Structure 1
């Protein structure tokens, strides 16, 4: 498929070719016509699938150039590094075009950023918290917005920035919404439901042509940490099947707590590798666990665990996924010299699905999703404070608040205006240059 099929302008096709793009990515082929048609889209694809290039091309095609002092495109990203990368992509693909773009990511004072905004900006690339802070100062005008984009939505949610995203989206009013993410889950859906009503969800998966041979793997998708604990108790109850198990967590403190919660009346049945205290059941040497018949379950912290010889262990349970996917892969890639049957079980919440996706990309296939046991008690997830469409708004009254010390202001001293910081910046510039 050639770039011409994307129905881009000739200058954009030339810019793409100059940048080394000879054929469109699958995600571009699937979404571009909808983006150019003004539809709301949720695009799901792995890292490197071309999500950023997709919306950059869409913006450059749809952007209507006027002399408005308000931005026409707002792009929300997870951090400063990502903001700079997005701006560089726009610069690379918009050569010979008079494009005004600014990044807002909180490394300096707001006043300088607001002064830049009032000069007239086409595109703003910002972190949600910084954009919201400047918006609340009345320095970011969203009244002329044509396109509202959330990039790396899964990272924004992982960092807990759903509220500023929703507030900004709803303040922008009617415009096109585009959300790009590596994974889609309940928390993401709850966020997008706040401002997207009839979005089209399009997903691409690019596992490449090669697959890595691994041990048998099963994925348990659970709502929260407490349900993970319940699931682990449920599985380990069958001591005949789970006769030798290593459970991986991320920290030694978590390992200590989990080992205590799994403890049984049988001494050394459940223990921890390198316990924190001398009086706790545990092993300083992993080989000792393997050679001790009564030791059935060992909880191991990923931090400082180093390389372990897992041969002879039939069950590996990743209660928590390590930060480095390579740590996980070294445990599940099949060792042809040791033909033992091993099953690796992975417990993952919504927030860990991104790590699962990266593992799937590395091994070249999806993990098999296991059904949760019928008798499993799924703990309720505590609701985080968010934006509620149905929240009642208290009416403001004209009555004074306070006691008898209240006095009405004289007419000459009363203030009946409220200039935002952006308006003040314009007035200051007029005084300087007028």
Structure 2
């Protein structure tokens, strides 16, 4: 039996995936297709390479057997034009029913009026950027009455690009469609976006790690909702001078370095920087000077200076930002030789940075433990100005799909930072 038969794909699709070189379903596909075939709304969370794109394509082509309507029956929302164009190509490569009309709806590909005419002439599957799809919908060019599948691809990237509002509004216009969401991570901002049009859904997560032969220093991470709360967390953690007697704080820009410096400068801490003289009078030459200076306990370093800095003897590496430069984080937390450095890396994340953290975990082949947020941390509220969030307050009768935080993410104990880190220090 062809392994893809278990997914209850059509004969044409089974031949197509076989010709494309797929021998068996991925773990993700094996878990989600019975639910998709049963008509369930679901969120599929998996890392790159887990088969998310192939899954949404197969689900779409399996649902639409032939052309029979003018109005589209599948709408796939993507995070960017480039991502959408790639997905259109993948659709065509797996589609054996050449009568199906597959159309990409993106910015800078013809005028809006021309795209409206193209859609109203009749299409079966639309792959679109959310704001472009909304514009066509408002021009009465996108009929969603016959829609069977409403799919959000790369939900984490859509949220990162600030496209939640058109996704929510389009989703609320398709109450009869089955909803499928694919993402590398799942966090509060994604849950909020989905809550405006999805009431009950399953979250299926594949979080497999390939073992790597790497030696790493101890690592932990904290996750907070936004940048201001991250600043509060940094300030609170560094108040424990008994633990953080020598700590490097890594940031990605001089602007952030200045923000952090001004925040900590008001406290009674030994603060210094490297090559940040524009706002700091405390510059030093390198890590050795920092370690030998008993009056200095916190060293702020911008990413561009981090790569060539010997950090191997600094007890704590605190990543306020995950480095943009590929593999820089991995370089700083891996070690070679027989003797492990007595170090710990702490990563401070916002929801929007979680997908990058997941990629790092895949590269390292290990799960970085998430810590409870410490008592006394002030969580900054985000300003709610968007129409869709105002509607949530005005229409509380709708209910929502917010899920309670897992127990591991809730604050359940009152432990000093020093006690917490002692569990991980050698």
TM-score tier after normalising by the smaller chain length? 0.7 to 0.9
- 1:289, CA displacement in angstroms? 2.1
- Against the structure 1 CA distance between its residues 278 and 376, is the aligned structure 2 distance closer, same or farther, given a 3 Å change threshold? closer
Q: Secondary structure at the match of 1:124?
A: strand
Q: Secondary structure at the match of 2:317?
A: strand
1:136 alignment partner in structure 2:
138
- 1:158, CA displacement in angstroms? 0.6
Give the Cα separation in 1 of the matches to 2:144 and 2:169. Answer: 11
1:214 alignment partner in structure 2:
216
Q: Secondary structure at the match of 1:202?
A: strand
- 1:389, CA displacement in angstroms? 4.7
Q: Secondary structure at the match of 2:179?
A: strand
Q: Secondary structure at the match of 1:283?
A: coil
1:6 alignment partner in structure 2:
7
Which deviates more, 311-320 or 202-211?
202-211
Summarize deviations over 1:70-125 as a string: whole Å, max 9, x none. Answer: 11110000011111111111111112431101111111311221222122100010
2:423 alignment partner in structure 1:
none
1:232 alignment partner in structure 2:
234
Give the Cα separation in 2 of the matches to 1:209 and 1:182. Answer: 19
2:44 alignment partner in structure 1:
43
> Over alpha carbons, which structure has the higher Rg?
1
Contact 2:290–2:299 (CA<8 Å) still a contact in 1?
A: yes
1:76 alignment partner in structure 2:
77
Give the Cα separation in 1 of the matches to 2:294 and 2:65. Answer: 73
Give the Cα separation in 2 of the matches to 1:141 and 1:2. Answer: 37
Aligned pair count?
Answer: 391
- 1:378, CA displacement in angstroms? 2.3
Summarize deviations over 1:327-357 as a string: whole Å, max 9, x none. Answer: 1111111233553210100011111111111
Give the Cα separation in 2 of the matches to 1:102 and 1:366. Answer: 40
Q: Secondary structure at the match of 2:203?
A: strand
Q: Is there any run of 5+ residues in structure 2 with no aligned partner, and where?
A: 396-426
Summarize deviations over 1:395-428 as a string: whole Å, max 9, x none. Answer: xxxxxxxxxxxxxxxxxxxxxxxxxxxxxxxxxx
Which deviates more, 59-68 or 345-354?
59-68
Give the Cα separation in 1 of the matches to 2:366 and 2:211. Answer: 10
Give the Cα separation in 2 of the matches to 1:151 and 1:302. Answer: 31
Contact 1:186–1:350 (CA<8 Å) still a contact in 2?
A: yes
2:54 alignment partner in structure 1:
53
2:340 alignment partner in structure 1:
339
Give the Cα separation in 2 of the matches to 1:280 and 1:115. Answer: 63
TM-score by length of 2: 0.87
- 1:301, CA displacement in angstroms? 1.1
1:146 alignment partner in structure 2:
148
The CA RMSD measured in Å over matched residues stands at 1.9
Contact 1:252–1:276 (CA<8 Å) still a contact in 2?
A: no
Residues 153-164 of structure 1 aligned to structure 2 (within 5 Å) = 153-164=155-166
2:296 alignment partner in structure 1:
295
Contact 2:67–2:99 (CA<8 Å) still a contact in 1?
A: no
2:188 alignment partner in structure 1:
186
Q: Is there any run of 5+ residues in structure 1 with no aligned partner, and where?
A: 393-434
TM-score by length of 1: 0.86
Q: Secondary structure at the match of 2:304?
A: coil
2:415 alignment partner in structure 1:
none
Give the Cα separation in 2 of the matches to 1:37 and 1:211. Answer: 41
- Against the structure 1 CA distance between its residues 293 and 20, is the aligned structure 2 distance closer, same or farther, given a 3 Å change threshold? same
Give the Cα separation in 1 of the matches to 2:320 and 2:393. Answer: 38
- 1:305, CA displacement in angstroms? 3.9
1:396 alignment partner in structure 2:
none
1:367 alignment partner in structure 2:
368
- Against the structure 1 CA distance between its residues 111 and 264, is the aligned structure 2 distance closer, same or farther, given a 3 Å change threshold? closer
Q: Secondary structure at the match of 1:179?
A: strand
